[in-house]
Structure 1
Amino acid sequence: MRATTHLPTLASLLLASVAIPVAAQAPGAATTSEAAPAPGEGAADARLRALFHDSDEGSLRRNPVQALFRGDMRYADQLGDFFSDAHIAAEREAARGDLAALATIDRAKLTPVDRIAYDVFRQQTELNLRGFAPDLVALSIVRPLDHFYGIHTFYPDLASGQGAAPFKSVADYENNLKRNAQYAVQIDAAIARFREGMKSGIVQPKLVVRNMIGQLDNLLAGGADQSPFYGPVKTFPAGIAEAEQVRLRVAYMRQISEVLNPVQQRLRDFLQNDYLPVARDSVGLSAMSGGAKLYDYLIESNTTLPLKAEAVHALGLSEVARITREMEAQKTKVGFKGTLAAFFAFLRTDKRFQPSSAAQLREGYEAIGRRVDGRVREQFSLVPRARLEIRPVPAFKEKTDAGGSYQSGTPDGSRPGVFYYNTYDLPTRYMWEMETLYLHEAVPGHHFQISLAQENEALPAFMRFGGNTAYVEGWALYSETLWPQLGMETDPYQRMGGLNDEMLRAMRLVVDTGIHAKGWSRDQSIEYMLANSPMSRTDATAEVERYIAIPGQALAYKIGQLTISRVKADAQKALGARFDPRKFHAQVLDTGALPMPVLEKKIADWVKAGGK
């Protein structure tokens, strides 16, 4: 479960460190100015805002596809250069320049809100810069794709007519053809990087390679007219002349047949014939030369805290034990007489919990949404303007995709936020997990947090449209804990679904560190997850293979949730009857995704001010 748009940034493709929720502006808008100064802002605030603006503009020029996801069409004919030495050097130098400029601004002279922005920018930029250390880049750039963050996992959807790219004019269709051509160039560049890794001995696990081969087989299945890339020309918006439609269909068919399918076939054959034989049998980073140092960095970059693998592992074991006791209580409540393991088997296999159709899932989620909407304002004074749609995961990636995910909409509402639910292996999409999944991915989880951030024009762009995994996923997991206040999980089986999802995040602390720091195998990790939860083998397998592909990312959920829950408990204790959950949630949500240390300080300052 995640809130991501798989953008090929160094943070994702090179280091797989942060799944950034990408927001959007109104189509055609340009991010060329910051919000007007607020009362009380002085010269230092103006300089800080100018730095944020210039930094963001530079980032969009270097990573133009990020602008496209925002709805900023200035670079709509460009995809970006992800794998070159020049791009890496430019990102590194930009981070150094931003920190140097930040150091010239007196933090003490800033407004309280801009002090928060200053702290977020410094913490994130310093952490990103550490990721550009030559030894870490050398371990990452030669593994440019995996089955979770590879360009082949996000770009076909972007170009399909069903993703974030607009297809409203002839120019939109032409821009897409240009991006498609650049996609082919980047695939070849990725192959070249893989070959460098073959020489240096830094390679992906065989498991990851086989999964990528399977994804490419799905993309190549059927004729050119069955390709996701043909999607935009299957239907056209009103206003595009028939002659243009004919011309564009021919152009798209030719590009798919002569450029896109051949390059994807080239990548597929390279992975199968050249790379797979030399890929490693091991799955953890600790088995790779230099991998332990890389994992240390990935833990901190994902959690925003300087944690060590051993401490995270121990925390996970403690949380697993606590949640197990709560699961035992639910088992007793429903009158099940067997062991907890037998109860898990019952939840996995009893037909009453298995959807009979994909439509039943959709209708169920829509009904849950209506129930949550009826209660959510009891806990939230801030509610986003953005609409929410509920859709199935696209078929070409459903096998390796999460059980649920979220894609952000636009601040102006022209594109809704989307909650994706997975229908692959339908009998394993248990209905007892639906309520908690909705709370996490939709309302008040990712849809609230991401939409409120991007709709807040008072924030600098990097806070509206960026983030860190610990906050983004920590908030979504925290949202699951609001089930009593929102009238969810009153059925003990749905409550087991909530505990199962919480258990998943606790097990991630154990299994991710087990794989990458303790030498755990894939099968050992899967069996651990099945022994401690009622999740299906399909889900457990996808989860474990995800941790193998993107080390450290899965740690952020529980670390973030525990931090938010702890600061809430501290605030409740300090404020007593003055504590208002609506005001607390507004404090957490109204400044975008904060690193955990910055969030803790913000809430502590709010409590000192009386929780007003």
Structure 2
Amino acid sequence: MTAQFRNILLISAASVALVSACGRDEESSAVNTSSTATQEANSEQAKPDAGQTAKINQWFEAQFEADVARSPMTQTFLGRKTNYDKWDNVTEEFEQESFELQMAALKEMRETFSLESLDPSAQLSYRLFEYEAEQEQRNQPFDDHWYVFSNFRGPHSSAPAFLINQHRVDDVEEAEAYIARLEGMKEYLAQNQKNAEAQFERGIYPPKWAYAKMIETSRNIISGAPYDDSEKPSTLFADFNKKIDGLDIEDEQKQALKSRAEQAMINSVKPAYEALIDMFQTQAAQVNNDDGAWKLPDGEAYYANRLEVMTTTNMTAKEVHDLGLSEIDRIHGEMNEIKEQVGFDGTLQEFFVYMREDPDGKFTYPNTEQGRADYLAKATEIIDVMRGRLDELFYTKPKADLVVKKVEPFREKSAGKAFYQRPAPDGSRPGIYYANLYNTANMPIYQMEALAYHEGIPGHHMQLAIMQELENVPSFRRFGGFTAYTEGWGLYSEYIPKEMGFYDDPYSDFGRLAMELWRAARLVVDTGIHDKKWTREEAINYLMENTPNPEGDVVMAIERYIAMPGQATAYKIGMNKILELRRRAEAALGDDFDVRAFHDVVLKDGALPLAILEEQVDAWIAASTAN
């Protein structure tokens, strides 16, 4: 599977926001994004050739479809029902073959098409295809360094989430495909287990404390009927039964399908997870609690690679760390102003403790089912209000719907605070903003607005749904992603409502700043853990001292950063670049600046490395100034 389609799986599975677990470039490009253009500079300038442009766009679609054909799970994410009974092949041999196919495609593109013969849109597609392939070449030495299983993500949690959230059952054939996937889960998880065992032999494994969380998640999957005598159905059995009960078929046929699913769970799912648990226990007995990427083979080079991929820049760990410290100082200053505004008598750190401990009980919903329902209802209301004012910000708006859901119980202890899942391209599945309400104390009310704007509207749903709906753009651009761009837009989207008069409650505005502070602090703790050899506890203490977030939120975040080196640095770096470009446009255009036009420029080409985004905005400024 190429990097492009690994991106689709990761983003769609929404670890996030996850999603987004692969990204790319900022202030100075980490790679030469126009290397071929340099090669072409020695030849005569060629006018765009409509025939060549049409030909390469057809070629891009053929490459996209060839990649999709190798990934049944991507087909399902895209709303297709082909290979609906299969899992992906994740063997090392298959991955190596996918890499070689990607390199062959890059070679073919360079030999077949001249960059300067293409129209501007096709030129951009050419450069992005080249960019991703060259990035994958640089990733190749570290291809096995990204943990197969961790406390935060992995097939042990993503496989059941995939069946629950992606595998629709609209008829008997699709129910049988679900059963086939249950039967195939043993082999799919075994392939992943083999990869993890090979990683372990090479000295690549998460810290000791992470194993208990992986074991707990795995046990949750095989708890309940039909795995034990419990009257409560297991997570997957409950999902399958609900989907079967929704079919318009005879009760006898429903029962037959449920019986087959039950056997598949007992004979395939249960032994697969028992094998994983055995592996986790065996490995846990042999490892220590070293947390950072520095402990891995060539760990320093690996972390530098992750920073390049996630931020799409060539910023060093020191530069990222220093930027974080500077941003924290600035945001602390703005928070002090709000502290004074609300009349709190004490230091900023004492104000953090007050907000965190909530002695008056006004910053959190009750940790009850009603409290969770109230949170979801309020989050939906916030999004609906913003949806009604989008004309003030955008000319282009997404067609896809958006819903708010809580994270499923089986993975809520290990999942992130909130994340977004893309809609199906055919409209059969809406975009989903997931809120983790395992403990409502970790989801304070004063952060609700900023979180809803980030994950929903005008954040991830706005950007990702619009990207999928782009016309006359190759599919690999509509379904790919660059973390710094996507998460930078999400964080920028927390800022936009401030200009519109939202965050009128000073505590809610404090929450907006707390969210931005959180992303600035990530620059410090991520580099602290993976470059400066901070321990888990040192990183936790840093966030507790410098942010108002609840302790549970802090612990879960640090454990996420440990599992995904570099990913957390993309948000603030991406936001800073978008704000920098906006201020540049405002200064150049003055009264002629139209924020709606600016947002269209940022969103019209889909996700981009930050250096290429800068080129696009500068070209728009130049054209607007000339006109």
TM-score, normalized by length of structure 2? 0.89
Report what 1:279 is aligned to. Answer: 287
Offset at residue 138 of structure 1 (A): 4.5
Q: Aligned letter for 1:144? A: V
Structure 1 residues 345 and 17: CA distance shift in structure 2, 3 A: closer
Deviations 1:31-83, CA, capped at 9 Å, x for gaps = xxxxxxxxx8612212321231122112112222011101122222221111x
Report what 1:475 is aligned to. Answer: 489
Report what 2:439 is aligned to. Answer: 425
Offset at residue 336 of structure 1 (A): 0.6
Report what 1:49 is aligned to. Answer: 57
Report what 1:582 is aligned to. Answer: 596
Offset at residue 608 of structure 1 (A): 0.8
Kindly indicate whether the alpha-carbon contact (under 8 Å) linking 2:7 and 2:481 is maintained by their aligned counterparts in 1: no
Offset at residue 453 of structure 1 (A): 0.8
Kindly indicate whether the alpha-carbon contact (under 8 Å) linking 1:330 and 1:492 is maintained by their aligned counterparts in 2: yes
Kindly indicate whether the alpha-carbon contact (under 8 Å) linking 2:421 and 2:431 is maintained by their aligned counterparts in 1: yes
Report what 2:31 is aligned to. Answer: none
Supply the distance in 1 between the matched residues of 2:8 and 2:355 (Cα, whole angstroms). 33
Structure 1 residues 6 and 340: CA distance shift in structure 2, 3 A: farther
Deviations 1:192-251, CA, capped at 9 Å, x for gaps = 233333433332211222221121122222222622221122343343333321111001
Supply the distance in 2 between the matched residues of 1:532 and 1:8 (Cα, whole angstroms). 31
Report what 1:506 is aligned to. Answer: 520
Kindly indicate whether the alpha-carbon contact (under 8 Å) linking 2:8 and 2:480 is maintained by their aligned counterparts in 1: no
Supply the distance in 2 between the matched residues of 1:152 and 1:243 (Cα, whole angstroms). 32
Supply the distance in 2 between the matched residues of 1:531 and 1:103 (Cα, whole angstroms). 52
Supply the distance in 2 between the matched residues of 1:6 and 1:341 (Cα, whole angstroms). 41
Deviations 1:518-565, CA, capped at 9 Å, x for gaps = 000101101111111110110100100001011111111111111111
Kindly indicate whether the alpha-carbon contact (under 8 Å) linking 1:51 and 1:98 is maintained by their aligned counterparts in 2: no
Offset at residue 90 of structure 1 (A): 1.4
Offset at residue 180 of structure 1 (A): 2.4
Structure 1 residues 98 and 131: CA distance shift in structure 2, 3 A: same
Report what 1:27 is aligned to. Answer: none
Supply the distance in 1 between the matched residues of 2:580 and 2:249 (Cα, whole angstroms). 55
Kindly indicate whether the alpha-carbon contact (under 8 Å) linking 1:575 and 1:607 is maintained by their aligned counterparts in 2: yes
Report what 1:157 is aligned to. Answer: 161
SS at match of 1:144: coil
Report what 1:339 is aligned to. Answer: 347
Kindly indicate whether the alpha-carbon contact (under 8 Å) linking 2:14 and 2:419 is maintained by their aligned counterparts in 1: no
Report what 2:326 is aligned to. Answer: 318
Kindly indicate whether the alpha-carbon contact (under 8 Å) linking 1:515 and 1:521 is maintained by their aligned counterparts in 2: yes
Kindly indicate whether the alpha-carbon contact (under 8 Å) linking 1:316 and 1:508 is maintained by their aligned counterparts in 2: yes
Offset at residue 20 of structure 1 (A): 6.4
Supply the distance in 1 between the matched residues of 2:621 and 2:409 (Cα, whole angstroms). 48
Offset at residue 178 of structure 1 (A): 2.1
Supply the distance in 1 between the matched residues of 2:107 and 2:161 (Cα, whole angstroms). 38
Matched, 1:102 2:134: no
Structure 1: gaps (5+ residues): 22-39
Matched, 1:241 2:247: no
Supply the distance in 2 between the matched residues of 1:194 and 1:90 (Cα, whole angstroms). 19
Correspondences of 1:354-433 after superposition (within 5 Å) = 354-356=364-366, 357-433=371-447
Kindly indicate whether the alpha-carbon contact (under 8 Å) linking 1:375 and 1:487 is maintained by their aligned counterparts in 2: no
Offset at residue 12 of structure 1 (A): 11
Supply the distance in 2 between the matched residues of 1:12 and 1:168 (Cα, whole angstroms). 24
Supply the distance in 1 between the matched residues of 2:587 and 2:572 (Cα, whole angstroms). 22
Offset at residue 589 of structure 1 (A): 0.8
Kindly indicate whether the alpha-carbon contact (under 8 Å) linking 2:310 and 2:483 is maintained by their aligned counterparts in 1: yes
Q: Single out whichever of 145-154 and 476-485 deviates more from structure 2.
A: 145-154
- Number of residues of Structure 1 aligned to a counterpart in Structure 2: 580
Kindly indicate whether the alpha-carbon contact (under 8 Å) linking 1:316 and 1:506 is maintained by their aligned counterparts in 2: yes
Supply the distance in 2 between the matched residues of 1:17 and 1:442 (Cα, whole angstroms). 14
Q: Aligned letter for 2:181? A: R
Offset at residue 411 of structure 1 (A): 3.3
SS at match of 1:7: helix
Supply the distance in 2 between the matched residues of 1:191 and 1:415 (Cα, whole angstroms). 31
SS at match of 1:100: helix
Offset at residue 288 of structure 1 (A): 2.2
Kindly indicate whether the alpha-carbon contact (under 8 Å) linking 1:17 and 1:302 is maintained by their aligned counterparts in 2: no
Supply the distance in 1 between the matched residues of 2:94 and 2:393 (Cα, whole angstroms). 45
Deviations 1:232-274, CA, capped at 9 Å, x for gaps = 22343343333321111001111111210121122112211x1
Supply the distance in 1 between the matched residues of 2:200 and 2:162 (Cα, whole angstroms). 30
1:200 to 202, 216, 219: 202
SS at match of 1:405: strand
1:137 to 125, 129, 143: 143
Structure 1 residues 392 and 20: CA distance shift in structure 2, 3 A: farther
Report what 2:304 is aligned to. Answer: 296
Kindly indicate whether the alpha-carbon contact (under 8 Å) linking 1:376 and 1:486 is maintained by their aligned counterparts in 2: no
Report what 1:86 is aligned to. Answer: 93
Offset at residue 6 of structure 1 (A): 8.4
Matched, 1:146 2:160: no
Supply the distance in 2 between the matched residues of 1:336 and 1:522 (Cα, whole angstroms). 32
Kindly indicate whether the alpha-carbon contact (under 8 Å) linking 1:184 and 1:260 is maintained by their aligned counterparts in 2: yes
Report what 1:461 is aligned to. Answer: 475
Correspondences of 1:490-505 after superposition (within 5 Å) = 490-505=504-519
Kindly indicate whether the alpha-carbon contact (under 8 Å) linking 2:342 and 2:506 is maintained by their aligned counterparts in 1: yes
Q: Aligned letter for 2:351? A: F
Supply the distance in 2 between the matched residues of 1:486 and 1:412 (Cα, whole angstroms). 33
Deviations 1:271-325, CA, capped at 9 Å, x for gaps = 11x1101223200011222111111111111111122111111111111111111
Report what 2:549 is aligned to. Answer: 535
Supply the distance in 2 between the matched residues of 1:303 and 1:384 (Cα, whole angstroms). 26
Q: Single out whichever of 239-248 and 569-578 deviates more from structure 2.
A: 239-248
Deviations 1:568-589, CA, capped at 9 Å, x for gaps = 1111111111110001101111
Q: Aligned letter for 1:184? A: K
Matched, 1:450 2:450: no
Kindly indicate whether the alpha-carbon contact (under 8 Å) linking 1:504 and 1:533 is maintained by their aligned counterparts in 2: yes
Kindly indicate whether the alpha-carbon contact (under 8 Å) linking 2:356 and 2:550 is maintained by their aligned counterparts in 1: yes
Kindly indicate whether the alpha-carbon contact (under 8 Å) linking 2:115 and 2:123 is maintained by their aligned counterparts in 1: yes
Report what 2:74 is aligned to. Answer: 66
Supply the distance in 2 between the matched residues of 1:525 and 1:202 (Cα, whole angstroms). 21
Kindly indicate whether the alpha-carbon contact (under 8 Å) linking 1:379 and 1:485 is maintained by their aligned counterparts in 2: no
Q: Aligned letter for 2:105? A: D
Kindly indicate whether the alpha-carbon contact (under 8 Å) linking 1:20 and 1:466 is maintained by their aligned counterparts in 2: no
1:220 to 194, 219, 222: 222
Supply the distance in 2 between the matched residues of 1:324 and 1:421 (Cα, whole angstroms). 27
TM-score, normalized by length of structure 1? 0.91
Deviations 1:380-408, CA, capped at 9 Å, x for gaps = 11111111111111111111222211111
Kindly indicate whether the alpha-carbon contact (under 8 Å) linking 1:120 and 1:598 is maintained by their aligned counterparts in 2: no
Identical pairs, percent: 32
